[in-house]
Amino acid sequence: MTKRPLSARAVMAFPAALFAMVLVVTAGCGGVGSAPPVSSSNQEVQITGRVFINGKPAKRGEVVFDPANYMRNVPARTATIDDQGRYQITTLTGQNIIQVNSPDFKPNRDQDGMNITVDITPELGELDLQWPPPDIPNRGDG
């Protein structure tokens, strides 16, 4: 069986097809929107406040502040809620995802993993937390 020589059209089409494949593959590797925005810094700030569950001060539990840190080199910070509903925590400025964990709050299954995002500024200093957050009605039994 003899080999047929490639036509000029086939020879020209191969590099174009190869270039198109490389372009498609690299577009999926770090293209637009691949990394979340970094809204936190390395600047720490101390926040104090009270946690209210269904309008009443929480008697126990914890608050978790998770800085929106792209490099993930800073773990989430946790603070204990005292018997007056107070907490004190040091976190990074910028967006923080905040979650409240307390036996005083019994979320229904639609509220599992409920959290809020707050932009923490150096001037903030005090932040009271209403749980459930006002835009998420409490349909639980707590």
Within a domain: 3: no
Within a domain: 58: yes
| This model's pTM is above 0.85 | no
Residue 127 pLDDT more than 70?
Answer: yes
More confident residue, 68 or 94: 94
* Across 8-12, 13-17, 34-38, 70-74, least confident range: 34-38
The pLDDT tens digits for 71-83 are: 567 789 999 999 9
Within a domain: 29: no
The percent of the chain in helix, strand and coil, each rounded to the nearest 5, is 15, 30, 50
Neighbour tally for 1: CB within 10 Å: 3
Residue 131 pLDDT more than 50?
Answer: yes
Helix ranges, 40-140 (H): none
> In this structure, what CATH number is given to the domain that contains residue 120?
2.60.40.1120
Query: Taking residues 19-47, what's their average pLDDT?
Result: 57
Rounded CA gap, 53 and 72, in Å? 30
Range of the domain at 92: 44-131
Q: Which pLDDT value is given to residue 4?
A: 67
| Structural domains in the chain (count) | 1
Within a domain: 35: no
Most confident of 29-38, 47-56, 126-135: 47-56
Within a domain: 5: no
Within a domain: 9: no
Percent of the chain, pLDDT > 90?
A: 39
Within a domain: 124: yes
Q: Which pLDDT value is given to residue 56?
A: 93
Within a domain: 53: yes
